[in-house]
Structure 1
Amino acid sequence: MTKLTIKEIKQVLAEIEDLTDPQLAELKSDPRKGVQTATRATIKRLQKKAEALAEFEHRFRYERSFWHHGLQYVAGVDEVGRGPLAGPVVSAAVILPHDFDLIAVNDSKQLTPSIRAELAPKIRAEALSIGIGMVDNHGIDELNIYQATRVAMKQAVEALDPRPEEIIVDAMQIPVPIRQTRLIKGDAKSISVSAASIVAKVYRDHLMDEYAKRYPEYDFPHNAGYGTAKHLAALKAYGPTPIHRMTFAPVKKFSKK
């Protein structure tokens, strides 16, 4: 290694994928400052990768426990859109294969929009089945947001093929005759729920982007229907649109516009 230039060593380091690689131990003793800097950067990269893999494996513990007990089809279910003033509540149900390997999949709220947009089609490509459920603003006004969320989740589960034998859901009870494991903050604890949260979020964001073309004053691409200052200012100036939830207090306040 000492005969290699720093540029050549950086090329070697770029190909190392394991902290136990003996080349790392050898390079630690290289006296050249450039080699030491590059080696430390590689070790940091590999440690971060190992931590991400360990976290990924930890989020798979519920699914693997069910698989171990003979339940092959385990669905993760999550929703997005309970809090916005406009648009639907959307739920996704996802059944993942045993060899699912998208390490970056995590709670959608912890990911940037660009990473979510990149992961959603990859999840769709790897998943055994994906179901989508949706209740629009009129259904939300009629049922209330909690019941509308349960309906959207039921729709998502019933759209799955094969039918799941177990459901992991983020702190809700879905009205279907399938055994359910309810987890508080399940989208951060179960990889299937994480995947569902990403699929639901990207699906709903796309819908709100389409609505924004019809109602540009409300800044839907940036607030997804949530009550931001700009959204509330538009409600005050123009009143609610046909996709606003009339039973939500800030909308009701400006409903006579």
Structure 2
Amino acid sequence: VAGVDEAGRGPLAGPVVAAAVILPAEEEEMLRGIKDSKKMTEEEREACYETLTQSKKVTIGVSVIEHEVIDEINILQATMLGMSSAVKQLEEPPDFVLVDGNRCPSDLSAPSQAIVKGDSKCMAIAAASIIAKVTRDRIMKEHHERWPVYDFAQHKGYGTSRHVAAISKHGPCPIHRKTFEPIKSLLAA
């Protein structure tokens, strides 16, 4: 069974990242710290990410859907594309897919079920949430190096008051989502 989740639907900048994870059932010690990534500190997420990615018994697929695609097909379709692509990245196709949220991508290669708040109910989805979140946070830290005035390392592209103020002062940078407000209105003006 693969668990699937994403990170980055709401931010004003950067990609949406989806991950699919198949966990070994017999590795209880390794799985002990895994939970919904939103309920973990950055340090806890990083430690679990390292444990998951270093284990030969964990199968992981990751998909990064860039801001241009989000602007072209919309965030929901980009998220579905990312989830489907992450499942396709798995070394072996899963027998079943559990997806965080209220809908599943229509083109999955296996039967699937959506689980609302699945990242707090299913260990495989929680693991996928950690992989997606850490991957996306690392990407946003790299973007911070290129465009430090937006402080992406701090807010990861979310629409904080500080981020919106930076967009108002400096205008959007190339990784801002042009179809998201307030960027859309700024560009129209």
TM-score w.r.t. the length of structure 1 is 0.70
Unpaired stretches in structure 1, ≥5 consecutive residues: 1-73
What letter matches 1:87 in structure 2?
A: G
SS of match in other structure, 2:49: helix
8 Å CA contact retained: 1:168, 1:193? yes
5+ residue gaps in structure 2?
Answer: none
Contact 2:46 2:134 in 1 (8 A): yes
Look up the match of 2:58: 128
Task: Give the SS at the match of 2:97.
Answer: strand
SS for the counterpart of 1:134 is strand
Please, which of 189, 194, 197 is the counterpart of residue 126 of structure 2? 194
Tell me the CA shift for residue 152 of structure 1: 0.5
Query: In structure 1, what is the Cα distance between the partners aligned to 2:185 and 2:34?
Result: 39
Aligned residues: 184
Counterpart CA distance in 2 for 1:112 and 1:220 is 18
Which residue of the other structure, out of 169, 180, 184, is the alignment partner of 1:248?
180
**Aligned-partner Cα distance in 1 for 2:150–2:140:** 11
- The match for 1:155 is 85
Structure with bigger helix share is 1
User: Which residue in 2 is equivalent to 1:173?
Assistant: 104
Counterparts of 1:200 and 1:139, CA distance in 2: 18
Question: What is the match of residue 10 of structure 2?
Answer: 83
Letter in 1 for 2:89: A
Amino acid at match of 1:119: C
Find out whether 1:228 has 2:160 as its counterpart: yes
Please give the alpha-carbon distance, in whole angstroms, between the structure 2 residues aligned to 1:166 and 1:84. 30
RMSD, aligned α-carbons: 1.2
Tell me the SS of whatever aligns to 1:92: strand
2:51 counterpart of 1:119: no
Superposition misfits of 4+ residues, deviation over 4 angstroms = none
Using CA pairs below 8 Å that are at least 6 residues apart, which structure has the higher relative contact order? 2
Percent identical residues: 45
Residue 249 (structure 1) shift: 1.5
Could you tell me which residue of structure 1 aligns to residue 39 of structure 2? Answer: 110
Shift of 1:139: 0.1
The aligned amino acid for 1:96 is L
Deviations 1:80-125 (A, max 9, x none): 0000000000000001112132211000000001110111010122
**Which residue, 147, 161, 164 being the options, matches 1:215?**
147
Cα distance, 1:76 vs structure 2: 0.4
C-alpha distance in structure 2 between counterparts of 1:181 and 1:145, whole Å: 20
Q: Which amino acid aligns with 1:168?
A: L
Larger Rg: 1
SS of 1:164's equivalent in the other structure is coil
Partners of 1:92 and 1:156 within 8 A in 2? yes
TM-score (norm 2): 0.94
